[in-house]
Amino acid sequence: MFDNLSDRLTRATKNLTGRGRLSEANIKDTLRQVRLALLEADVALPVVKSFVERIRERAIGEEVGKSLTPGQALVKIIHGELVSLLGSATVDLDLRAQPPVVIMLVGLQGAGKTTTAAKLALRLIKKESRRVMMVSVDVHRPAAILQLETLAREVGALYCSSNASEAPTTIVAHALDESRRSHADVLIVDTAGRLHVDEDMMDEVQAVHSAATPHETLFVIDSMAGQDAVNSARAFGERLPLTGIVLTKADGDAKGGVALSAREVTGKPIRFLGVGEKIDALEVFHPDRMASRILGMGDVLSLVEEIEEKVDKAQADKLAKKISKGRGFDLSDLKDQLEQMMNMGGMAAMLEKLPLPGKINAAALKSKTDEKQLQRQIAIINSMTAGERRFPKTINGSRKRRIAGGCGMQIQDVNRLLKQHLQMEKMMKKMARGGMKKMLRGMSPGGMPPGLG
């Protein structure tokens, strides 16, 4: 969902990487990019302004001077601000109260309250083995009550029947009674969608709230919502003591800036993401992970951990020694490397964790570098004799034909692998001469992710 935002931000901060020093002028340009990126992502303007202002204040301080590169410093600051904006820890539903614990869902029309109610119920039943009862106080939309009843049956929750001719508060009182009688742990109250400027309806929801005295009042909001989301979030926040936010339809391609706006305006944590049509498509919200994803920093840390875990230390040392001596990087070394890549789940898994610059399409790369390819390359090497592996230059046309036959591939594939090896060998030689740093510098700017550069 947040991919577009991270694309933009990556590009914005990329302009800074490679610059010698962070000047007031070039930070201004980058901050403008950040501002546009956030606006494009539908983050509300006042939120954007205060956010950018905070970054500016922190950036034009000492913090930049201390750090390695200006770009990294800025990314770090933005990340820090994002985490503090989104909250640093996941906040679970608080169900520690005398049962029935009431959870109430409120929001605009079409935000996805009823669907969320069902998903929430299923989650509580399946994951926490609670006895859940559901009730709808939506007496306005035709067939809303029936919708909840159908969903309650589907997820296996108890259902307290209500009637569109009753007053919402009466329904709530009845539902509380009913849930006590049937020993329900949790009562989920689904309310009608309403506009925050509709005074009568806002009075109604307040009345329902005071009748139900919910332990959790969740504001449900559409992740595709625009600038106006702050107004509705604020209005609901002023009328009701909200305890959290649920962001729905997060499986769409919206940029989801509303997550930032709603969090900032209400000051309440985002609890869940609705991520699909299926009844179990509800995810717990992890603010820190989301902040990293928004920034496109990828999961560099966990990638490093993973590599350390899975790469065979002894093999790596052997290779390092070979390289440092400037001796050949032969085909059996290439095979070792390919096998290790397979171990790590192939290129695709690695690429996903890396913050690639905006233009590179991860999906396109994925299709080119899938695991099958690795398998095939390994098969080609497996069809070679030990001598051929050590001295690739000896592989002539007739040998190529034999190798291709042996692994069931075309001669062109063998050629491609040999060429690939040749290139890597060249790179290794360079590395042996100039060390790692020189090679990195030789790569195109932006070729290395900011986290590693």
Partner 1 sequence: MQRVKCRRLLNSELDVFAVFKKKETITTESGGGFFKRLRRRLNSGNSWLTYDLANLAPGGRIDDEVLDDLESRLVMADVGVDSTERIISALHKQLARRELKDVAALHSGLRQIMLAMLEPVERNLQPVSEGGPFVILMIGVNGAGKTTTIGKLARRFMNDGHSVMLAAGDTFRAAAVEQLQAWGERNGVPVVAQQQGADPAAVIFDAYESARARGIDILLADTAGRLQNQQGLMDELAKIKRVVSRQNPAAPQEVMLVLDAGLGQNALQQAEKFNAALGVTGITVTKLDGTAKGGVLLALADKLGLPVRFIGIGEAADDLQPFRASEYVDALLGTDSDD
Query: Which of 269/276 has CB closer to partner 1?
Result: 276
Does 12 bind partner 1 (CB under 8 A)? Our answer is no
Out of 83, 95, 224, 281, point to the residue binding partner 1 (CB under 8 A). 224
Binding piece for partner 1, criterion CB under 8 A, among 19-27, 255-263, 317-325, 430-438: 255-263
Return d(Cα 272, Cα 279) in angstroms, integer: 14
Q: Which of residues 175-204 bind partner 1 (CB under 8 A)?
A: 195-197
**Which parts of 344-396 fold into alpha helices (H)?**
346-353, 362-368, 371-382, 386-390
- Dist CA 412 CA 281 (whole Å): 46
- Tallying the residues shown for the chain, one arrives at 453
Query: Looking at beta carbons only, is 103 or 148 nearer to partner 1?
Result: 148
Residue 252 touches partner 1, criterion: CB under 8 A? yes
When asked if residue 259 is in the footprint of partner 1 (CB under 8 A), the reply is no
Is 347 in contact with 366 (CB distance < 8 Å)?
A: yes
**Tokens standing for 387?**
């001598």
Task: Give the CA radius of gyration of the chain.
Answer: 29
Nearer to partner 1, 181 or 278 (CB): 278
Beta-bridged to residue 186, according to DSSP, are 101, 132
Name which position in 5, 229, 291, 347 contacts partner 1 (CB under 8 A).
229
Of 253, 309, 325, 393, the residue at the interface with partner 1 (CB under 8 A) is 253
Residue number, 31 or 225, with CB nearest to partner 1: 225
Strands 282-284 and 270-274: antiparallel
449 lies in the binding site for partner 1 (CB under 8 A): no
CA 143 vs CA 157, 162, 331: distances in Å: 19, 11, 68
- Residues numbered 93 to 112 that lie near partner 1 (CB under 8 A) are 108-112
257, 287, 346, 449: residue in contact with partner 1 (rule CB under 8 A): 257
| 243 near partner 1, rule: CB under 8 A | no
**Contact, 192 vs 83, CB < 8 A?**
no
Distance CA 47, CA 51 (A): 6
388 binds partner 1 (CB under 8 A): no
Nearest to partner 1 of 155, 403 (CB atom):
155
353 is an interface residue for partner 1 by CB under 8 A: no
Interface with partner 1 includes 452 (CB under 8 A)? no
CA distances 124 to 79, 106, 185, Å, are 32, 19, 10
What residues numbered 274-293 form the site for partner 1, per CB under 8 A? Answer: 277
**Per CB under 8 A, 362 contacts partner 1:** no
Written as six digits, the tokens of 28 are: 């201004």
Residues 122-161 that bind partner 1 (CB under 8 A): 141-144, 146-151, 154
- On whether the CB atoms of residues 41 and 255 are closer than 8 A, the answer is yes
Segment lying near partner 1 (by CB under 8 A), choices 42-50, 68-76, 379-387, 435-443 = 42-50
Q: How many amino acids of this chain bind partner 1 (CB under 8 A)?
A: 45
Candidates 215, 249, 263, 268; binder of partner 1 (CB under 8 A) is 249
Report the alpha-carbon distance of residue 251 to residue 223 in Å, rounded: 9
222 near partner 1 (CB under 8 A): yes
| Nearest-10 crossing angle of helices 24-40, 3-14 | 170
Q: Residue 234 and residue 197: Cα distance in Å, rounded?
A: 11
Token couple for 76: 């770090």
Quote the CA–CA distance of 105 and 141 in Å, as a whole number.
16
Q: Does 39 bind partner 1 (CB under 8 A)?
A: yes
Question: In the complex, which residues of this chain contact partner 1 (CB under 8 A)?
Answer: 36, 39-42, 44-45, 108-112, 115, 141-144, 146-151, 154, 195-197, 222, 224-229, 231-232, 249, 251-255, 257-258, 277
